[in-house]
Every structure is written in C-alpha cells, then in structure tokens.
Amino acid sequence: MASYDLSGTAAWSALRDEHQTLAATTLRELFATDPERGTRLTADAVELHLDYSKNLVTDSTVEALVALADEAGLSEKIAAMFAGEHINLTEDRAVLHTALRLPRDASLVVDGQDVVADVHAVLDRMAEFSEKVRSGAWTGHSGKKITTVVNIGIGGSDLGPVMAYEALRDYADRGIECRFVSNIDPTDVFEKVHDVDFESTLFIVASKTFGTQETLTNARTARQWLVEAYQGDEAAVAKHFVAVSTNAERVADFGIDTANMFGFWDWVGGRYSFDSAVGLALMLSIGADGFRQMLDGFHQMDEHFRTTPFAQNVPVLMGLLNVWYNNFFGTGSHAVLPYSQYLNRFPAYLQQLTMESNGKSVRLDGTSVSDAVAGGAAGQTGEIFWGEPGTNGQHAFYQLLHQGTKMTPADFIGFALPNHDLGEMHDLFMSNFFAQTAALAFGKTAEEVAADGTPAEIVNHKVMPGNRPTSTILAEKLTPSVLGQLVALYEHITFTQSVVWGINAFDQWGVELGKVMANQLAPKLTSTEAPAKDSDGSTDALIERYRAFRGR
Ligand SMILES: O=P(O)(O)OC[C@H]1O[C@](O)(CO)[C@@H](O)[C@@H]1O
C-alpha cells in the first residue's frame, strides 16, 4: 500500500525549496517583478471568482502543490468519493453528500441502491410538506397557520440550517420565522421557545442518530410545553412535531409519527448534511424552488471539482494553499471573513466542517501524522478556522492580522451586488473589502509612515509589515445557488486537505469520550447524597464546589 506520508516525496522537497525562496521575499516584490500575477493567479468556478495572487506563491509553487496533489492520488480519491466507495474506512461508509444534489435524471447505484431516486423521493416529500405549511394547508392542532418553525438539533443538525437560513433571509417567506435551539444549556430552549404561540409553531427535531443528548432533552422539554399549552392533549404532537433522522425506530420511540419523518442516510456526514432533509427549516423558509436552486449551485461546484484540472480547480487550489501555509509556513489558523452580514454564521458553520473533519492526528493506515516527520510543521493537520463578517472584524481582531506576530492566511468573500441597495452604502462597504487585502499584502513601510509627518518615536508603531496572504472570492450576488457553490467549495477544500494529509475527514471519534464522561458525571451533580470522590482531584473538587452553589 502506498504511504500516506508525503513528506519524503519529490513534490514535498520541491515545496521545501519553494518555501526557502518565498519566505525570503515579499508580496511587494512579487507584484513589482510580476504585475500580471494579479490577473493570472486567478481561477473561476461556476459564479465564484478566486483571486489568489495575494498569496506567497509563484507559478512554480502552484506547480509543486499540484504535483503534491498528484502524489496524494487526489484524482483517484475524488473519483472514489463520487462513486460511493467506502472511503470513510473507520466507519466503513460511503461518503456521498455529493449525491444529495445530483439532478433527478442522474443515476448512482451504491451498495445495490439507486441513491438518486431515494434522494429525490425525500426532496419531493419535503417540498410537498413545505408547500402545505407555507400555504396554510398544514395547520397546528387547533387550526392556526404555522408562523414559527423551531429547529431542534446540534452540530451538523443545527449549524448548516441556521447558517443557510441567515444567509438566505432575503429569499425567505417573511411570514415564517425560524428559530434554532441547539445547546443543552436550558437558557437556549427557554429563550427561543418561551414566547412562541404554540398553536402556530412547528418543531423540527433534527438528529441524524436521534440519540444526541442535547437534542432529545431539548425536544422533550418543547414537547412537554406544547402539550401543556394544549391542556394535556397529546394528540397535538402529531401536528406540531416532525423529525429529520436516519433512525426511524428511535423517532417512533420518541413519540413522533414516522409519517412525519424525513429521512436521510448513513452516507451523509452530519456536517455535510444541510442539503439533505436536515435543511427542512430552510426549505420552509425559502420554499422548494429556492432550495432546489441551492442544490443546483452545490452540484455545479461538485462538477467543477470533479472535472477541472487541478491548476484551475478552485477547491483544489484553495485546499493546497491551506496545506502550503499550514505545513510549510507553520501557520496554525485560518480566518474566513465574509463581507456579507447575511453570512454571519458562515465561519461558525465552517468550524464544524473543517475542524471536525480535519482535526485528526492519525492517518488512514493508523500511523501518526508526526511519526515520519523530522519536527517542524510538516506533520500538522487541521487549522483552526475562525472569523466574523467584515467590517465588524475590522474593528475587533484585524489589528492582530495586520501587525501581530502570527501569519494568519485569510479568505475574503464578497459580493458586487447588494441584497439591499441603499445608495452608495454597499460601495463603501466593499471599499473596505478591497482595502483590507491590499493593506494586508503590501503594508506601509517606515519611510512611507515617516513621509506622512509621523513623529519619529512612533514611526515603528505605525509600520504595517504587510506580506500577509489572503485569497479573495468575489461573486456577483449572494443567491441560493451561490450559497450552494460556496458551501460545496469549502467541503471540497476540506476533502483536498484531508487527502494530502492522508487522514479520514469523515469520522469524529474525538467527540465521544467527553459525551461518555458527561453521562458518568451527571448523577454526581444531581444526587442528594455526597457522591464518591473517584474522579481526578480537580474534577472532584470542582463538583463539590458546584454542588455547594446548588445547595446540595
Ligand atoms: O445529528 P446528530 O446525530 O444529533 O449529531 C449531531 C452532531 O453530533 C456530532 O456527532 C458530534 O458530537 C456531529 O458530528 C453531529 O453533527
């Protein structure tokens, strides 16, 4: 079997040489000697334009990065994923979120099952249900039209739907408000539900496994409040609770009629799922047509990823750039800065997508990523993703981006056409977008600062070092299709990185231990008698203090 460790390959050593050269140059110099790079180091995918010229790369770096992708067998891995091979080895599963957006006339048989037919059957049921709710044909138990939808889910069953609902507010039926309950902190369900009119509220319990403590606890609470609001009439549940899950048995056990359940499949990872039935709240908000436009955007980006040569393949290029900074420059984090208030939850969504996927330190063959690496950053995997919409971030953490000691590669995402055109406000907004990447790249030298008349003693404080890499994604307008393109882009960036690192982007074993331990500790928090001190010294002492505050 080929090794998953690429650090001994020719491509890796070419990149080491590239790094030596580029670490000793600056973006100012690169642009001075090659002004055309601003139009050459670009690529287009569907409606997204990528300018990656403000990165510390030259044509030969890109060539070496593409060679690294070839060494990793990226083409074969992409083909295997799209074909439904069980590339999620540790769970022995296919990884087929791309099948969720295949057109109706496509065909894909996986493990003997026509998945396209299955996907469209569920989409059709979702569309029919959404239409009924939106038109008022589906009412609450007492006959009132549904005006509030509360999605109860966490992780992939929350972050995707809430991000997309926020992103596509401009396309929403304003007669339906969606709220999202995720945290088991009781304040979450209280704040989102205490003021609803239960008779006009629909609860969606979204959980792939239907075994997630947070979701089931919140759902039980909401169910109890609903039944109380109907003076104990349990029959109300059928008109106010629907489920989204892969597990019909558990849905039925919970007390939701499986006729009101929308299914999906184990080949859809939670963080790759909001274009499945997990997106039901979004469909209720924007309608089935808008949802299908979004799926089409996803699919077009899938096709770009599957068929475009790597040197022009936007997800591949961006994934390789992330590897470049992470493994050669040793940057530990990556900022995603959408210049759209509608994308305010996009960085949070990406945190699960990227960090639950690529926060791994063992390769697919069970070896440690650091085993064969002679120190340095070569054995690094998943970056820490973070961000906020511009311009809010500018007035918060951009100081560190501009003058801090850490290099933080950043993606700037912006749109030419505003969803709401209020005079020149959007142009002012976007002038910040363009200014920031230029300031980060080219900075301001001591001479330039002094030439402004700055007193000598503070010149150093005002020097802007520049040379801070960014990628710019510019699209015409944020539409359902463009949102689908953006999400698929980041899904495939994440996959590209995982292939180069030889890790499994589709399991998440690291979240399990904490869940088990929380279940073990819960009785110690609630028991009326002093619990045994059989945890570690710190945890025992903290629980004792907690119990004292709780009067136990
Ligand atoms: O949809 P479920 O099964 O409730 O899981 C919620 C989330 O929990 C996780 O398993 C992590 O704990 C995520 O991967 C998933 O998106």
For ligand 1, is residue 154 a contact (CB within 6 Å)?
yes
Model confidence at 201, pLDDT cuts 50, 70, 90, reads very high
pLDDT of residue 102: 98
Residue 372 has pLDDT above 60, yes or no: no
- For 488-517, the pLDDT digits (tens) are 999 999 999 999 999 999 999 999 999 999
The CA 155 to ligand 1 mean position distance, Å, reads 5
Chain mean position to CA 193: 26
Helix (H, G, I), strand (E, B) or coil at 114: strand
Rounded CA-CA distance 140/137 in Å is: 10
Model confidence at 371, pLDDT cuts 50, 70, 90, reads low
Q: Which long-range contacts (CB under 8 A, 24 or more apart) does 257-263 make?
A: 262/122, 262/125, 262/126, 262/129, 263/122
Rounded CA-CA distance 182/270 in Å is: 14
Domain edge (last residue) among 254, 269, 284: 284
pLDDT of residue 189: 98
Question: What distances in angstroms separate CA 414 from CA 59, 194, 433, one per listed residue?
Answer: 25, 37, 7
Element holding 45 (H helix, E strand):
strand 42-45
Residue 318 has pLDDT above 90, yes or no: yes
Q: CATH code at 161? A: 3.40.50.10490
For ligand 1, is residue 159 a contact (CB within 6 Å)?
no
Q: Does some domain include residue 204? A: yes
Which one of 128, 191, 395, 406 is the catalytic residue? Answer: 395
pLDDT of residue 91: 97
Q: Does some domain include residue 214? A: yes
For ligand 1, is residue 155 a contact (CB within 6 Å)?
yes
Quote ipTM for the complex: 0.98
pLDDT of residue 306: 98
pLDDT of residue 166: 98
Rounded CA-CA distance 282/227 in Å is: 26
- For 441-494, the pLDDT digits (tens) are 999 999 999 999 999 999 999 999 999 999 999 999 999 999 999 999 999 999
Atom of ligand 1 nearest to the CA of 512: 12
- For 210-233, the pLDDT digits (tens) are 999 999 999 999 999 999 999 999
Q: Does some domain include residue 29? A: no
Range scoring the smallest mean pLDDT among 98-112, 185-199, 256-270, 375-389 = 375-389
Q: Does some domain include residue 389? A: no
Model confidence at 378, pLDDT cuts 50, 70, 90, reads confident
Token pair, residue 258, equals: 């499986």
Question: What beta strand segments (E) does 213-303 contain?
Answer: 241-245, 261-263
Question: What beta strand segments (E) does 102-254 contain?
Answer: 109-110, 113-114, 148-152, 177-181, 201-206, 241-245
> Mean pLDDT over residues 254-276, rounded?
96
Q: φ, ψ for residue 306 (rounded to 5)?
A: -75, -30
- Most ligand 1 atoms within 8 A of CB, residue of 157, 276, 360, 512 to mutate: 157
For residue 242, the enclosing domain spans: 128-284
Rounded CA-CA distance 515/214 in Å is: 10
Question: Is 515 among the residues known to form the active site?
Answer: yes
Q: What is the pTM of this model?
A: 0.97
For ligand 1, is residue 207 a contact (CB within 6 Å)?
yes
Chain mean position to CA 270: 11
Task: Report strand pairing: 42-45 vs 48-51.
Answer: antiparallel
Domain edge (last residue) among 284, 302, 318: 284
How far does the chain reach from its first CA to its final CA, in angstroms? 58
- CB contact at 8 A, 209 and 247: yes
- CB contact at 8 A, 224 and 262: no
Model confidence at 2, pLDDT cuts 50, 70, 90, reads low
Cα-only R_g, the chain: 25
3-class SS letters over 347-416? HHHHHHHHHHHHCCCECCCCCECCCCCCCCCCCCCCCEEECCCCCHHHHCCHHHHHHCCCCCCEEEEEEC
Helix (H, G, I), strand (E, B) or coil at 337: strand
Domain edge (last residue) among 235, 255, 284: 284
- For 20-64, the pLDDT digits (tens) are 999 999 999 999 999 999 999 999 999 999 999 999 999 999 999
- Most ligand 1 atoms within 8 A of CB, residue of 218, 265, 511, 512 to mutate: 511
Question: Is 356 among the residues known to form the active site?
Answer: yes
pLDDT of residue 412: 98
State percent of the chain over pLDDT 70.
99
Find which of 113-117, 378-382, 482-486 is predicted with most confidence, using mean pLDDT. 482-486
- For 390-441, the pLDDT digits (tens) are 999 999 999 999 999 999 999 999 999 999 989 899 999 999 999 999 999 9
Question: What distances in angstroms separate CA 360 from CA 354, 436, 507, one per listed residue?
Answer: 11, 32, 9
- CB contact at 8 A, 201 and 214: no
Q: Does some domain include residue 538? A: yes
Which one of 356, 383, 388, 491 is the catalytic residue? Answer: 356
Q: Does some domain include residue 493? A: no
Helix 280-307 and helix 314-324: axis angle, to 10°?
80
What does pLDDT average to over the chain? Answer: 96
Model confidence at 376, pLDDT cuts 50, 70, 90, reads low
Q: Does some domain include residue 26? A: no
State percent of the chain over pLDDT 90.
95
Which residue's CA is the closest to the ligand 1 atom numbered 16? 156
Identity of the amino acid at 26: T
Q: Does some domain include residue 428? A: no
The number of distinct structural domains making up the chain is 2
Residue 196 has pLDDT above 60, yes or no: yes
